[in-house]
């Protein structure tokens, strides 16, 4: 039974922390957990619909839609992993209850069985527990590997989306950059032309001074 409990704890790793503590103590309301996950799924779907509507109002529509789909897939996969963990716990609980019945029956039978039959019964029980624990451990390892692959995939997708968004932004900013460059060139040309005119005015030779005015003629004597 200790190995069955270990398998249950390994399965609990996919649940939220508060649910892990409750389930480990044996008092988790798994039906309530399923209802919670169903509500989360509805929230994810509604958010996806709202995001799609918002994406069609943006410049980079495809990039926006790709990021929205990526978030939806990540959240949905997380919900599926939790649902799988809950189903595993329910199966493990059912199996543990059945094993307990078998233990009780075996204990009753061992009281009358021969020593060799008692030993065989104990060994059979250990084998069943070991197989159940190995199966649970294998499922947990597979789930962890799948989660890691998904994380790496999402990381690559996000990096690609970011690069495309930057390229689109650069393309959108290109006309404004050209206009700014042309405006700087125009101002530089005007400044250079003004300087050339000022230099030309300073270098132009001054004209000869005007002759002094002639003296006024004296009046004839009477």
Tell me the pLDDT tens digit for each residue of 115-169: 777 788 889 999 999 999 998 988 888 988 899 999 899 989 899 889 888 888 8
d(C-alpha 89, C-alpha 84), whole Å: 9
Distance CA 167, CA 175 (A): 14
What digits encode the pLDDT tens for the residues 59-111?
889 999 999 999 999 999 999 999 999 999 988 888 888 888 888 887 777 66
In a domain, residue 196? The reply is no
Domain-embedded: residue 90 = yes
Domain presence at residue 53: yes
In-domain check, residue 94: yes
Neighbours of 58 (CB within 10 A): 11
Pairwise CA distance, residues 176 & 190, whole Å? 21
| Number of domains present in the structure of the chain | 1
Domain assignment present for residue 215? The answer is: no
């Amino acid at each position: 039974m200790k190995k069955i409990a270990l398998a249950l704890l390994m399965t609990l790793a996919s649940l939220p922390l508060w649910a892990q503590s409750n389930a480990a103590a044996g008092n988790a309301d798994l039906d309530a957990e399923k209802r919670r996950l169903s509500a989360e799924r509805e929230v994810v779907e509604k958010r996806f619909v709202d995001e799609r509507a918002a994406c069609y109002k943006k410049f980079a529509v495809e990039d926006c839609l790709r990021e929205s789909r990526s978030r939806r897939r990540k959240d949905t996969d997380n919900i599926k992993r939790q649902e799988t963990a809950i189903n595993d716990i329910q199966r493990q609980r059912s199996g543990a209850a059945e094993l307990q019945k078998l233990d009780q029956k075996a204990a009753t039978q061992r009281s009358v069985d021969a020593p060799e039959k008692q030993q065989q019964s104990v060994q059979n029980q250990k084998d069943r527990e070991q197989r159940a624990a190995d199966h649970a451990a294998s499922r947990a390892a597979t789930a962890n590997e799948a989660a890691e692959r998904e994380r790496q995939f999402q990381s690559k997708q996000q990096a690609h989306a970011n690069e495309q968004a930057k390229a689109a932004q650069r393309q959108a900013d290109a006309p404004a950059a050209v206009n700014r460059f042309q405006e700087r060139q125009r101002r530089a040309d005007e400044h250079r032309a003004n300087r050339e005119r000022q230099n030309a005015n300073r270098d132009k030779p001054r004209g000869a001074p005007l002759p002094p005015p002639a003296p006024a003629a004296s009046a004839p004597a009477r």
